[in-house]
Structures are given as structure tokens and as C-alpha cells.
Amino acid sequence: MQYYSLKHQAPRVDFRAATIAGQAPDSGLYFPETVPRFAPELLQSLKTLPKAELAFQVMQPYVGTTIPAAELARICADTVDFPFPVVPVTAQIAALELFHGPTLAFKDVGARFMSRCLGYFSRQQTKTITVLVATSGDTGGAVANGFLGVEGVEVVILYPAGKVSPVQEQQLTALGQNITALEVQGDFDDCQQLVKQAFTDAAVTSHLTLTSANSINVARWLPQQLYYLYAWQQWPHPEPPVVAVPSGNFGNLCAGLLAYASGLPVAHFVAACNANDSVASYLRTGDFAAKAAVATISNAMDVGNPSNFTRILELFAQSHATISSLISGYTVTDAATSATIRQVHQQTGYLLDPHGAVAFHALADYLQTRPGQHGLLLETAHPVKFPDVVEPLIDQPVALPESLADLMRQPKRSIPLAPRYEELREYLLSR
Ligand SMILES: *Cc1c(COP(=O)(O)O)cnc(C)c1O
């Protein structure tokens, strides 16, 4: 499999080069030159195929010959080594729980897959690889956890000061070793902008072998399509689900669209956004305009200019008609998100996190006029990651899992950074 840049000003590369580079030299996102179709036998045997085997079969065409089959099988088995249960919430809506990995958010799968691939590739070269990543909350923790102690790889994480939850902050600042956290006095879009600029700075890229671990990196983006296959494995209804995805940078939804384009049955997609709804507006109007990010209680989705939007356009030949007939966009306010967490908990006992609640609200809205259909929301994080939001709504504490209690006691270590590129540049050149 070869990958081309969506800006079309850079050479095609294989999976190895795309993973190490993160972003193409023309600053475009890499995109697979063909979308592989799932073999009919794969879809037929889906319900009985073990998770790791399914992961291997889905990822193999994308990885090609850059990783030997036995090694890739090990990487896949390791990556998906925890459950992905579909849990009924109401008669019409179920949740696909993606928070059973080590950092309690869905980004663990992409981060684990990518870190293991990069670990393999780094064993073939002598120079250290530096992973430079911007996080709106959960990416940083998943990447830090995935890469902790991986030899030949250094990780530098940029996160917006005061805009991530305490659990999230501990997960990216308290690990130490090969992980460094830069605390940026700005928002996520500032962090993302700084990272993008570093990748186009020749002085920096000749000093360090830089790669990104955001969902712009194909090794993080592509394995996320597995969620949709795991959901289908457990889906109890004869008709395929309406799938609602709480979206920020749109890597997760775009991976679901890729699985759909490869032949996975999905009835419809719901793009669930908070106030940062540039893609939802595009779906409604056909016009896309990036916006400045605004802070919400579903902070991992506070993205004004989602990177993966260009991949969605590419997947469907830029056709707004095709895209908007397959995906419905919803904007959910913080007030509606809070009310959803409270109501769903009262009525069903199920505790949503703020991101899952955005998806639940949008999905319920979509299904209201379609009583015969069933919906699935992607529950992307454990509610314990957002106690300040969740606990007052349900009037009770959410118990901290033991694995986190230990982490919460570790000292925070971060380096403050103004949201100016010169500062980041100086820091990177001094490494
Ligand atoms: C990152 C994140 C999202 C948004 O996912 P994208 O792939 O960026 O659209 C949603 N929920 C949670 C909990 C996240 O961490």
C-alpha cells in the first residue's frame, strides 16, 4: 500500500515512511491510494473471528510488507488486549464502550498500535525518533502510556494549560522517563498549530527525526476502524446500526467511514459535536469554515479546525451530496450535555461521560423520527476522567479505579510554554 499527500505536492510513500513522517513534507495528510474491500469471507465470519485476528486481517493491507506478518500479528494482539463491550442503555440505544484500555479513553488503541509500529521501525535505525503531539485531553495520556519506555523514541506533548481535567493532566505529566509535557498558555488549536509549524521547519526536522502521534498519523488513525467491526460482532439486531460518534478532530468518525467504504454495514452516521461544530455546519449547509475553538465540558472535542475533515472529503470525492446523505451533523450545547448525563443516569442507571453524552443526545434526536431503527453511540471515555462535570449532575462520587489512584499521587512535571512558535522552536533545537 502506498500513501499520497492530500496536498499532492509530495512523493508517495509506504506505511513505514508515512508512520515515521506523520505528516507529508507538503504539510498534507497521508491517505491510502486504494481503499481495500473487506473480503466477503471476513464479513461472513465476523461474528466468530477473535479480536486480534480480525485486527490483523484489517490492518495487513495498510501495513503491506513494511512489518513482517508474525510481528504485525503480535502488535495487533497487544493493541486490542482489552474488551470493547456493546452495552444496552435504552431499548433503542446501546453504547460501545471504548474506555477499557489503560488510559480509559478510546485513543489507547491508536496510540498502542502506533507506538508498537514505531518501536519496530526504530529498531531498524540508529537515530532517535521524536514524537511531537498536541492534545486536547486524551491523546496525550494515551500516547504517553503507549510510548512509555519504548527505546529509541522520545515523546514531547503539548497541552492547553487549564483546559484538561486533573486525571488527564496526570496521565500526561506524571510518567517521566522518555515523556515530556509542554504546558501551553493557549487552547488546543494553538497547540495543534505549533506542532504543524514545527513539522514544516527545516531547521527542526533536520535536527530531530520528528513524527506526529495525532490522528493525522496513519498508524493512529487507521486502527480506529476496528471499533466499528467489534461493534458489528456484538450487534444484536438484524439491521445495521445508526452510529453516533462524538467528534473533535474527526479521526474516529473518519475511520468508521473508511470501514463503511470497505464494506462494513452501517445504516447511517451521526457526527455529534459540541459548540465546536464547523463540520456539523458543513453537513447542514455545504459550506466549511474553520472556527476558533471554544471551551466546553466535552473538552477533547474542542477543535475548531478538524484535521481529518479533508480525509472525509477525499473518501467521498468531495461530494457534499454523498457525504450529507450518509452523515447527519448535530450541535449539542453544554446545557443539553449535562441534562443528558443526569437524565440517562436517572432513567437507566447508565453513567455517560460528557463526550458520550453529546453522542447520546444527537443520536436520540436523530432516532426520534425513526422509531424502527437502532442506534449505537461510541462511549469514548470513562466518566471518572471528568469528575468535576459528572459528579454534581448525579449527586454522587465516581470511584477512581485503583490503576489511576496511584497515578494521581505522582508529582506533576511540565514545562510552561507561551503559544509562540519561536519558543517551541528554541526548545526543540535545544534537545
Ligand atoms: C479525542 C476524543 C474525542 C474526539 O475524537 P476525534 O477522533 O478527535 O474526533 C471524543 N471523545 C473523547 C473522550 C476523546 O478523547
**Mean pLDDT, the chain cut into blocks of 10 residues (431 residues total):** 98 97 91 96 93 98 98 97 97 97 93 94 89 89 93 95 92 94 94 92 94 88 98 96 97 98 98 98 96 92 93 98 98 98 98 98 98 97 94 93 86 96 97 91
Task: State how far the Cα of 114 lies from the Cα of 143, in Å rounded to an integer.
Answer: 9
Burial class (CB in 10 A: 0-12, 13-18, 19+), 430: exposed
Side chain identity at residue 262, one-letter code: S
Query: Mutation test of ligand 1: which of 355, 358, 379 has the most ligand atoms closer than 8 Å to its C-beta?
Result: 355
Catalogue the E-assigned strands of 251-396.
Answer: 268-273, 327-331, 375-379
137 in contact with ligand 1, CB cutoff 6 A: yes
Residue to mutate (ligand 1; options 108, 163, 222, 247; most atoms within 8 A of CB): 247
83-105+221-397: which CATH number, 3.40.50.10470, 3.40.50.10860, 3.40.50.300, 3.40.50.1100?
Answer: 3.40.50.1100
Q: Which atom of ligand 1 is nearest to the CA of 107?
A: 15
Ligand 1: does its nearest atom lie under 6 Å from the Cβ of 252?
yes
The atom of ligand 1 lying closest to the CA of 353 is: 13
Separation between Cα atoms, residue 206 and residue 92, nearest integer Å: 54
Question: Which protein residue's CA is at the shortest distance from atom 15 of ligand 1?
Answer: 138
Of 361, 380, 384, 389, the residue with max ligand 1 atoms within 8 A of its CB, to mutate for a pocket test, comes to 380
- Which residue has the least CA distance to atom 8 on ligand 1? 249
**Ligand 1 center to 41 CA (angstroms):** 32
Helix (H) or strand (E) holding 147: helix 138-147
Ligand 1 within 6 A of CB of 311: no
Return the ligand 1 atom nearest residue 224 CA: 7
Phi-psi region of 46 (alpha: psi -120 to 50; beta: other; left: phi over 0): alpha
Assigned C-alpha cell, 42 = 471476513
385 touches ligand 1 (CB under 6 Å): no
380 lines ligand 1 (CB under 6 A): yes
- The ranges assigned to domains in the chain are 83-105+221-397
pLDDT value of position 165: 87
Q: How many CB atoms lie within 10 A of CB 371?
A: 7
41 burial type by CB count under 10 A (0-12 exposed, 13-18 middle, 19+ buried)? exposed
Q: Which atom of ligand 1 is nearest to the CA of 380?
A: 13
Residue with CA at minimum distance from ligand 1 atom 2: 300
| Ligand 1 centroid – CA 241 distance (Å) | 20
Residue 331 CA, ligand 1 centroid: distance in Å:
15
What pLDDT does 403 receive? 76
Q: Give me the pLDDT at residue 346, please.
A: 98
Beta strands in 89-221 (DSSP E): 93-97, 129-134, 153-160, 179-184, 209-212
Determine the residue of 138, 307, 311, 384 to mutate for testing ligand 1's pocket, defined as the one with the most ligand atoms within 8 A of the Cβ atom: 138
Give me ligand 1 centre to Cα 303, in Å: 10
168 C-alpha to ligand 1 centroid (Å): 13
- pLDDT value of residue 214: 79
User: CA-CA distance, 371 to 369, in Å (whole number)?
Assistant: 6
Residue-level pLDDT at 158: 97
Instruction: Compute the distance from residue 11 Cα to the ligand 1 centre, in Å.
Output: 30
If phi over 0 gives left and psi between -120 and 50 gives alpha, with beta otherwise, what is residue 377?
beta
Per DSSP, what are the bridge partners of residue 212? Answer: 132
